[in-house]
Amino acid sequence: DAGVIQSPRHEVTEMGQEVTLRCKPISGHNSLFWYRQTMMRGLELLIYFNNNVPIDDSGMPEDRFSAKMPNASFSTLKIQPSEPRDSAVYFCASSSGGRNSPLHFGNGTRLTVT
Amino acid sequence: QQQVKQSPQSLIVQKGGISIINCAYENTAFDYFPWYQQFPGKGPALLIAIRPDVSEKKEGRFTISFNKSAKQFSLHIMDSQPGDSATYFCAAETSYDKVIFGPGTSLSVIP
pLDDT tens-digit series, residues A61-106: 889 999 999 999 999 999 999 999 999 999 999 999 777 889 999 9
How is residue B32 annotated by DSSP? B
Q: With contact defined as beta carbons under 8 Å apart, do B54 and B31 qualify? A: no
List the beta bridge partners of residue B89: B36
pLDDT tens-digit map of B30-78: 989 999 999 999 999 999 999 989 999 999 999 999 999 999 999 999 9
Taking 60 as the threshold, does the pLDDT of residue B1 lie above it?
no
According to the model, what pLDDT value does residue B2 have?
60
When the pLDDT of each residue in chain B is averaged and rounded to a whole number, the result is 93
B42 contacts A107? CB cut-off 8 A = yes
The fraction of chain A above a pLDDT of 70, given in percent, is: 99
Q: A20-24, A57-61, A67-71, B9-13: which range is least confident on average?
A: A57-61
What is the DSSP pairing of strand A5-7 with strand A19-24?
A: antiparallel
Q: CA nearest B90 in A: which residue? A: A43
Q: CA nearest B89 in A: which residue? A: A43
Q: How far is CA B22 from the centre of its chain?
A: 7
B95 contacts A99? CB cut-off 8 A = yes
